[in-house]
Amino acid sequence: MNYTACPRVSFPFAHRFLPPVYILVFIVGLIANRLGLKSLQHNWKKLGNVNVFVLNLGLTDILYLLTLPFLVVYYFMGSKWIFGETFCKITRFCFNVNLYGSIGFLTCISVYRYLAIVHPMRAMGRITVTRSVILSVTVWLLVSVQSLPDMFFTKTYRNLTGKCYDTTDNDHVEEYLKYSLGWTLTGFCIPLLITLGCYGHVAVVLLTLKRTDKVLKQRSLKLLLILILLFSVCYIPYHVLRNLNLWSRVLTKQRICHEWNNRVFVAHQISRGLVCLNSALNPLVYLHAHEDVTARLRQQLQQVRLSFHRLCDSGHVPVSQTADERL
C-alpha cells in the first residue's frame, strides 16, 4: 500500500478493446434481434404470456444497439465526446435500461416458466396477456426509476469536449459508489435470486418427473442453460467489477494505492465489453421461449442453403457481380 501519488491506470486499453466489441455486437445484435422480432411479428395473433416479455426484451436490445455507433466514434477519437452532455446521459441511460430491463424481463420469463411447469393448475387462467402487459409496463417503470438518478451525476467535462463517463467523474465517485451498491442489490441481486430459485425448482421437477413431455423438458433445460450463460458471462462480472473499480477510484482519490488498481480497471473494461454481449445473446431466448421460432428460423436457413446450392449448380455467378464482389 502506498499513500503517495498513485500510478496512472491503463486507459488506452479501453480504446483498443471496446470499439471492436461494440462493432461486433452492433452487427450481430441487429441481425439476431431482427430475425427474432420478425418471427414474433409473424405469430402476433398467438402472442401471449412469455412472448410478451420476449418482445420487450428485443425492444430493450434495439434501444441500446442504436447508441453503439456513437460510442465507437467516442473511443476511436481517444475518449473525446463530441455529441454533448445531454446525449451522453441519454446514451448511458439507454445502456442501463437495456441492462436492467433485460434482467427484469428474463426474471419474468423465469417466473412464468416456473408457474407453468411447477404449478400448472394454479397458473391456469391466471397467466394472461393482459397481466403480462401490465408486468412489462411495471418493469419498464421500475428500470427507468432506478436508472434515472444516474442521469443527475456529472457525465462530461463542463463546457469542454472530453470524456463521457459510464459512471461519473472523480468529484462525485463516493456518492456514485453508494448509489451503485444499492442499484446492484435491487436491480441485479434480487432478480438473480428469483431466477435461480425458479429455475432450480423447475430443473428438479423436470428431472424427477418421468411423465413430463420431452420437448418441454428439453426446451426448459436449454433456456435454463442460456440464462446461466447470460448471468455468468454478462451480468455477474460486470456488477462485481463495476463496484470494485469505483471503490478503487475512491481509494486512489484518497491517495491510497494498491497494486491491483490497474488490473481492476482493465478487468472492468473487459466486463463492459462482455455485458454488452447480452444484446447479441438475448435473441437465443427467442429460440426456446417461443414454440414456432426455431422451426421458422430453420426454414429460413434451409431456403438460403437451397438458393446457394442452385447458384452453385448453375455454374455461373450473376453478371452484375464483379470479381472483387465474389471475394
Q: All 3 cell numbers of residue 149?
A: 438518478
Confidence of residue 286 (pLDDT cuts 50, 70, 90): low
Closest CA to 283 of 236, 230, 239: 230
* Averaged pLDDT of the chain: 81
Residue 2 is predicted with a pLDDT of: 45
Q: Where are the domains of the chain?
A: 12-305
Closest CA to 139 of 91, 169, 102: 102
pLDDT tens digits for range 80-129: 898 988 999 999 999 999 999 999 999 998 888 888 778 877 777 777 88
Q: DSSP secondary-structure letter at 307?
A: H
Task: Judge if pTM exceeds 0.85.
Answer: no
CB atoms within 10 A of CB 298: 11
If you search the block for the grid coordinates 470524456, which residue do you land on?
163
Confidence of residue 39 (pLDDT cuts 50, 70, 90): confident
pLDDT tens digits for range 174-194: 999 999 999 999 999 999 999
What does the pLDDT average to over 253-268? 85
Residue 253 is predicted with a pLDDT of: 86
**Least confident stretch, 26-40, 45-59, 311-325:** 311-325
Q: Which residues lie across from 125 on neighbouring strands?
A: none
**Which superfamily does CATH assign the domain made up of 12-305 to?**
Rhodopsin 7-helix transmembrane proteins (1.20.1070.10)
Alpha helices, DSSP H, located in 4-84: 12-42, 50-65, 68-76
For the chain, what percent of residues have pLDDT higher than 90?
A: 41
Distance CA 71, CA 81 (A): 9
Residue 3 is predicted with a pLDDT of: 44
Distance CA 67, CA 33 (A): 15
Distance CA 105, CA 138 (A): 10
